[in-house]
Amino acid sequence: MKLSNRLLNINGGGSDGWEVFLEARRMIDAGQPVVELTIGEHDTRTAPDILMQMYESARSGNTGYAEVPGSSTLRTEIAARYQRITGVKTDMDNVLVTTGGQAALFSAHMAVLDPGDIGLICDPYYATYPGVLRAAGADLRRVATRSSDCFLPQRAVLETTAQGARSLLINSPNNPTGVVYPRETMEMIADVCIKNDIWLISDEVYDSQIWQGEHLSPRALPGMADRTLVIGSMSKSHAMTGSRIGWIIGPARAIEEITNLSTVNAYGVPGFLQDAAEYALKLGPDAEQKVAEVFRTRKAIAEKILSKSNTLRLIPAQGAMYLMLDIRATGLSGEAFAFRLLREALIAVMPGESFGQSAAGHIRVAMTIEDSKFAESLQKLADFAASLCKSDNLGN
């Protein structure tokens, strides 16, 4: 029997971008000592007190069906956090709790796109973005960016690409580039969205990881509150990746309608997980800062090592837990470099091509291992890149 075209088209008939990652996992399973710098998984896991709250809630009996939009107390805490960070008045009616940020991304696109509508994403993008839009039945259109512009979208390109589009998905702080969109970029994006009557979906899951500049949620800009859906998550801010607690913040009417989708999709998030998330949010910004600070430290380590490299160029690392490195001086594509690095140096990184063609000739490095091992691995990566250039010069 034939499966649906919607399902068969999620990967667009091509690569899903995870080949290097999967090869690394196969090597690890075979006993090889591969250093993984691939995915955004904290090396320090969920704090014990949060886990204890989760346990106590489950033990006390909060294991039944939960309210579909999320408990009123958790939604209130999420709204308060967002209002504190952005200054935008927000209450529980503006919040829907979802099974992680990924489900929030899918639900948001289902909310604003009909089959055949055009949905925009900025290239490079997080690897699941194209599949999300295809699964929602949208026609995907990419907004190309350039390494020389630090992968920031430019007005001329966005205005041309936006014609006829229904939605635009952005991500700041950005995965994979580590770039934080400055105010002028956000204002330009808002202007284009208003002029073209476009919904803006703003993925802000890294809002607690800012190393340079400031986080500006586009929902705070004039005229944007009624056309913006904000995606958030406990995954990055509180190292709760496996707990699958995310949310959408937006106009109350949109949240009410998206709740209907959650009813037929997940039918709520387990109550003991929501209780743990509520407890974690009540710990305040200091707890989030503690989780984030390790990546600030590793960014400084990376900048010191990479400043000595004549082969690798670091895209300014302003936020999130990743580094984007330009490796084009080696003469290799990002994918070719990543496979060689894996097989010859036993270090796994993500090729830029996994995140779109704008990042071709780059690699993404996750800063997700202990400091000394991270420094050792990054130095090894830099030496490997230099050796490729040296061997190419000798060959000529």
Q: pLDDT digits over 285-305, tens only?
A: 999 999 999 999 999 999 999
Pinpoint the residues of the chain covered by CATH 3.90.1150.10. 5-45+286-395
Structure confidence at residue 14 (pLDDT): 64
Q: Given this model, what pLDDT does residue 17 score?
A: 75
pLDDT digits (tens, 9 = 90+) for 325-352: 999 999 999 999 999 999 999 999 999 9
Pairing outcome for strands 118-123 and 167-171: parallel
137-159 pLDDT tens trace: 999 999 999 999 999 999 999 99
395 pLDDT more than 80: no
Q: Is the pLDDT of residue 164 over 70?
A: yes
Q: Would you call 184 exposed, middle or buried from its count of C-beta atoms within 10 A (0-12, 13-18, 19+)?
A: exposed
| pLDDT over 50 at 111, yes or no | yes
Rounded Cα distance, 140 and 120, in Å: 6
Per-residue confidence at 5, pLDDT binned at 50, 70, 90?
confident
Contact yes or no for 370/58 (Cβ under 8 A): no
Q: How high is the pLDDT of residue 301? A: 98
Q: Which amino acid is residue 121, in one-letter code?
A: I
CB 197 within 8 A of CB 212: no
Distance, CA of 176 to CA of 278 (rounded, Å): 29
Alpha helices in the chain (DSSP H): 5-8, 19-29, 48-59, 72-86, 100-112, 129-135, 155-162, 183-195, 234-237, 252-265, 271-282, 285-306, 334-345, 371-395
Residue extent(s) of CATH 3.40.640.10 domains in the chain: 48-283
Q: Kindly give the interhelix angle for 252-265 and 100-112, rounded to the nearest 10 degrees.
A: 120
Encoded amino acid at 328, one letter = R
Domain spanning 5-45+286-395: which superfamily? Aspartate Aminotransferase, domain 1 (3.90.1150.10)
Asked if residue 246 has pLDDT above 50, the reply is yes
Q: What is the pLDDT of residues 174-208, one digit of tens each?
A: 999 999 999 999 999 999 999 999 999 999 999 99
Q: Which residue has the tokens 């037929």?
A: 264
**Predicted pLDDT of residue 300:** 97
- The answer regarding whether domain 48-283 maps to CATH 3.30.300.130 reads no
Percent of the chain with pLDDT over 70: 97
Mean pLDDT within 55-69:
97
* Residue 112 pLDDT greater than 70, yes or no: yes
Q: Are 352 and 361 in contact (CB under 8 A)?
A: yes
pTM of this structure? 0.95
Region 42-71 average pLDDT = 97
- Pairing mode, if any, of strands 199-203 and 362-366? unpaired
Determine the pLDDT at residue 390.
67
Tell me, what's the pLDDT at 396?
46
3-state secondary structure at position 245: coil
- Helix (H/G/I), strand (E/B), else coil: 365: strand
pLDDT given at position 305? 97
